[in-house]
Amino acid sequence: MSQPSAAPTVERNAVKNRYEILVDGERAGLTAYRDRGDQRVFYHTEVDEAFAGQGLASRLVQEALTDVRESGKRIVPVCPYVAKFLNKHEEFADITDPVTPDVLRWLDTELG
């Protein structure tokens, strides 16, 4: 298991529609989204096995959701990890929208 020597950083990669967490400049994980009007729909989160067990997914999602708040958007947690995170972090409840069949159909079309 890799041990980071520098603090991980989270960056939004708007071109690829995802937030990435970097450890020593190397991408260690990501959470992917698509924007639907004023909603940011999160549909997938992953952390590379080499970086597992370091709390990187939690930090990644925390910073991504904070960015969503700062941008004035709302969160739709299709991704199970993001949904679980939101259940434990009620500070984002005011900007969280439910996952609806409409959102799921839209996301399916977006992702092809």
Q: How is the chain split into domains, by residue range?
A: 9-111
Q: Are 31 and 45 in contact (CB under 8 A)?
A: yes
- Of 5-9, 23-27, 29-33, 63-67, give the lowest mean pLDDT range: 5-9
Average pLDDT, the chain: 95
pLDDT average, residue stretch 93-98: 98
- The string of DSSP letters for the chain reads ----SS--EEEEEGGGTEEEEEETTEEEEEEEEEEETTEEEEEEEEE-GGGTTSSHHHHHHHHHHHHHHHHT-EEEE-SHHHHHHHHH-GGGGGGB----HHHHHHHHHHH-
pLDDT average, residue stretch 49-78: 97
| Superfamily classification of domain 9-111 | Gcn5-related N-acetyltransferase (GNAT) (3.40.630.30)
Q: Are 39 and 50 in contact (CB under 8 A)?
A: no
Map residue 69 onto helix, strand or coil.
helix
pLDDT average, residue stretch 33-39: 98
Q: Is the pLDDT of residue 108 over 70?
A: yes
Q: What is the pLDDT of residue 3?
A: 55
Q: What is the pLDDT of residue 6?
A: 74
Residue 76: CA atoms inside 13 Å, Cβ hemisphere, count? 20
What predicted TM-score, i.e. pTM, was given to this entire model?
0.93
Q: What is the pLDDT of residue 4?
A: 46
